[in-house]
Chains A and B, each alone.
Chain A
Amino acid sequence: EPEVTQTPSHQVTQMGQEVILRCVPISNHLYFYWYRQILGQKVEFLVSFYNNEISEKSEIFDDQFSVERPDGSNFTLKIRSTKLEDSAMYFCATIRPGTAVYEQYFGPGTRLTVT
């Protein structure tokens, strides 16, 4: 069964640096999401992306974050200037078209460590 993949699995970066997290969605999926989970806390919604534009975003998703689908396949999350509090597991998710309840399929996550 096709899966959502994410790269890298673990990224270590210094505070203030830019990072790009990558997701390869399942090929015919149309909605894309980023969530994050700070250690010991809830999985939190960041942003959804549909038809090449942001569909919804949370309060967390401020000007430091951006998303794009540069080549029609990869879906990326960019953090422009990382802060210590950006350290978290970041999950990509996608929705298969035609599902009544919008089942989201999640990738394995990228663990981001900001030092």
Chain B
Amino acid sequence: AQSVTQPDIHITVSEGASLELRCNYSYGATPYLFWYVQSPGQGLQLLLKYFSGDTLVQGIKGFEAEFKRSQSSFNLRKPSVHWSDAAEYFCAARIYQAGTALIFGKGTTLSVSS
């Protein structure tokens, strides 16, 4: 079955340290891939997306993600985390020509320590 997996439920990172949030997908074809962030009381905000082409994509707020077909992964990274990055992060995917609905992972909660 098609699925998106985020192996880490909760991650704590020190402010200024680097961050990597993991996302794996299970599909026959390469899906469109997205990362969303949700701060408390807010909606889901799109951080970045992968469609095709360059496998390293840049997003907002200093985030980037790398698509690795061989590992079926789309991990989110940030070189230096700020306290305001504390939020919940969702990886999502959709399959071209299989509808436009997104399939989400369970999310990773990021805490930032000072």
Contact = CB atoms under 8 A, between A and B. Distances in A.
Contacts, number: 58
B36 A106 contact: yes
B29 interface: no
Interface string A83-115: 000000001010100001111111111000000
A106 B101 CA distance: 13
B71 interface: no
B103 A45 contact: yes
Contacts of A3: 43
A103 B45 contact: no
Contact of A42 (B45, B100, B101, B105): B105
B43 A95 contact: no
Contacts of B36: 106
Contacts of B28: none
A90 to B, nearest CB: 11
B100 A102 contact: yes
A104 B49 contact: no
Contact of A100 (B51, B102, B104): B51
B44 interface: yes
Interface of B: 32, 34, 36, 41-46, 49, 51, 90, 92, 94, 99-107
27 contacts: A4-B43, A31-B100, A33-B100, A41-B106, A42-B104, A42-B107, A43-B102, A43-B104, A45-B102, A45-B103, A48-B99, A48-B101, A55-B99, A55-B100, A56-B99, A56-B100, A93-B44, A95-B100, A101-B49, A102-B32, A102-B94, A104-B102, A106-B36, A106-B44, A106-B45, A107-B43, A109-B43
